[in-house]
């Protein structure tokens, strides 16, 4: 699981794998300023709804809540935060 909090212009996003095959079974959750991403080369991707709403951002990714995010974190084998 990847949690991305950096905005689209940040170089840190290059740490994400460039293809879905390279992170098979992992998901990406966009939080904080990361909700500004409009496209990613990996899937599945989700956006934290509360962060998108507070930044007045409309995201093409499915929205999840904080409790759903916590559930995903606890179920993940590994969590990387960018």
Domains of the chain, each with CATH number or no CATH: 2-81 (3.40.1260.10)
- Strand arrangement of the beta sheet that strand 63-64 belongs to: 63-64, 45-48, 28-30, 2-4, 80-81
**77 alpha carbon, distance to own chain's centre:** 16
**55 alpha carbon, distance to own chain's centre:** 15
The most confident of 5-9, 25-29, 51-55, by mean pLDDT: 51-55
Query: How does residue 32 score in pLDDT terms, banded at 50, 70 and 90?
Result: very high
Query: Do the beta carbons of residue 52 and residue 64 sit within 8 Å?
Result: no
What is the SS3 assignment for 72?
helix
| The pLDDT value given to residue 10 | 57
Query: Do the beta carbons of residue 66 and residue 50 sit within 8 Å?
Result: yes
Give the global pTM. Answer: 0.84
Torsion over CA: 5, 8, 14, 19 (sign): positive
| The pLDDT value given to residue 22 | 54
Where is pLDDT greater, at 23 or 44? 44
């Amino acid at each position: 699981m990847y949690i991305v909090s950096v905005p689209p212009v940040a170089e840190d996003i290059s740490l994400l794998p460039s293809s879905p095959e390279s992170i098979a079974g992992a998901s990406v959750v966009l939080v904080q300023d990361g909700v500004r991403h409009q496209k990613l080369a990996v899937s599945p991707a989700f956006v934290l709804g509360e962060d998108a709403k507070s930044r007045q951002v409309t995201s093409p990714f499915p929205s999840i809540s904080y409790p759903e995010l916590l559930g995903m974190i606890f179920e993940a084998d590994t969590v990387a935060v960018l």
